[in-house]
Amino acid sequence: MDEVQEWVQRFDLKVERLHTHIGSGSDPQIWQRVASLSMDLVKKFPGAKSLNLGGGYKIGRMSHEKTTDLQQVGQPVKQAFEKLAHETGRRLHLEIEPGTWLLGNACCVLSTARDIVSTGPDGYQFIKSDTGMTEILRPSLYAAQHPISVISRSGETHTSQYVVVGHCCESGDLLTPDAQDSEKLAPRELIRAFPGDLLVIDGAGAYCASMSAKNYNSFPEAPEILLKADGSHRLIRRRQTLEQILENEIPA
């Protein structure tokens, strides 16, 4: 911080906004501590007018995961802003980044079970999907957990344990990793699946299409459909064509 302030003074800079990155945590005590630390930084720059408490708010994609309580985490931040205003007369503008909190559970990926493979009594049953890391990379990167449902064409109600994998030639193209280790297989209890059944992968509204392994193995970018409040739907992104994948390639 001493070095930053030295540069500000040397080059006569005006610091108008500070940005700290908290991460996507839901623990109110952590938010209170980081807000307090951020306020200490603001006090070192009297000209600062706004503070961005960056990073997202954790959402529970799985039923056992906790979603951030905005009232709970926001109260200590509000108090810190009010305290600064009372002590110094400075009324800071607060900026937050709630994109994931708003949209994470607003979207899903629809795919098809292409094949069902068993590796024997001591192995696993695999559902091989026609989607994977090309559309949803979070499980491979973070061991992230996403709800997965099988929509049976035959009305099947019995369940079985499955490992769900994608269509890429990668051992990491795994949709059901262990929550602690993205390289470990973690079977899920799902409706008994058969080739052609629909798979629904929920919680795909953030950090999925925007950071997928686009065009891996030359798979085209998937289309996107908007479901409106009245139940109608419309196409908002077309499926990518092979010509579009290759259009920037220059023959030698």
Task: Compute the distance between CA of residue 80 and CA of residue 8 in angstroms, rounded to an integer.
Answer: 25
Note whether residue 236 is domain-resident: no
Where does a domain end: 102, 134, 153? 102
Catalytic residue status for 208:
no
151: its two tokens: 């929509």
CATH number at residue 71: 3.20.20.10
28 pLDDT tier (thresholds 50, 70, 90): confident
pLDDT, residue 233, reads 96
Q: Which tokens in the block code for residue 71? A: 């009232």
Same-domain pairing of 98 and 119: no
Tell me what pLDDT residue 30 has.
Answer: 80
Q: Based on the domain organization, do 74 and 163 belong to the same domain?
A: no
Region 107-130: mean pLDDT is: 96
Full DSSP string of 165-229? E-SSS-TT-BSSEETTEEEEE--EEEE---TT-EEEEE--TTTTGGGS-TTGGGPPPPPEEEEPT
Q: Which of 107, 108, 168, 169 is catalytic?
A: 169
Evaluate whether residue 222 is within a structural domain.
no
86, 153: one domain = no
Is the pLDDT at 26 greater than 70? The verdict is no
State whether 91 and 6 are in the same domain.
Answer: yes
Q: Any idea what DSSP says for residue 26?
A: -
Contact 193, 162 (CB under 8 A): yes
Domain stops at, among 102, 121, 146 = 102
Domain of 57, in residue numbers: 2-102
> Is residue 247 in a domain?
no
Q: Are residues 122 and 49 in the same domain?
A: no
Tell me the three state secondary structure of residue 156.
Answer: coil
Instruction: Give residue-wise pLDDT tens across range 162-184.
Output: 999 999 989 999 999 999 999 99
Report if residue 139 sits inside a domain: yes
**Residue 117: count of CB within 10 angstroms of its CB:** 12
Structural domains in the chain (count): 2
CA dist 88 and 102 (Å) reads 34
Over residues 146-156, the mean pLDDT reads: 96
For residue 58, name the pLDDT band (cuts at 50, 70, 90): confident
Give the pLDDT of residue 15.
Answer: 95
Domain assignment of residue 70, yes or no: yes
Are 75 and 139 in a shared domain?
Answer: no
Looking at the structure, tell me whether residues 76 and 155 fall in a common domain.
Answer: no
Same domain (yes/no): 203, 120: yes
Q: Does 230 fall in a domain? A: no
Q: Are residues 115 and 72 in the same domain?
A: no
Q: What tokens were used for 213?
A: 């392994």
Q: Do 96 and 114 share a domain, yes or no?
A: no
Read off the CATH number of the domain in which 161 is found.
2.40.37.10
pLDDT in tens, 199-252: 999 999 998 998 889 999 999 999 999 999 999 999 999 999 999 999 999 988
Residue 20 and residue 97 in one domain: yes
Among 86, 102, 118, the domain-final residue is 102
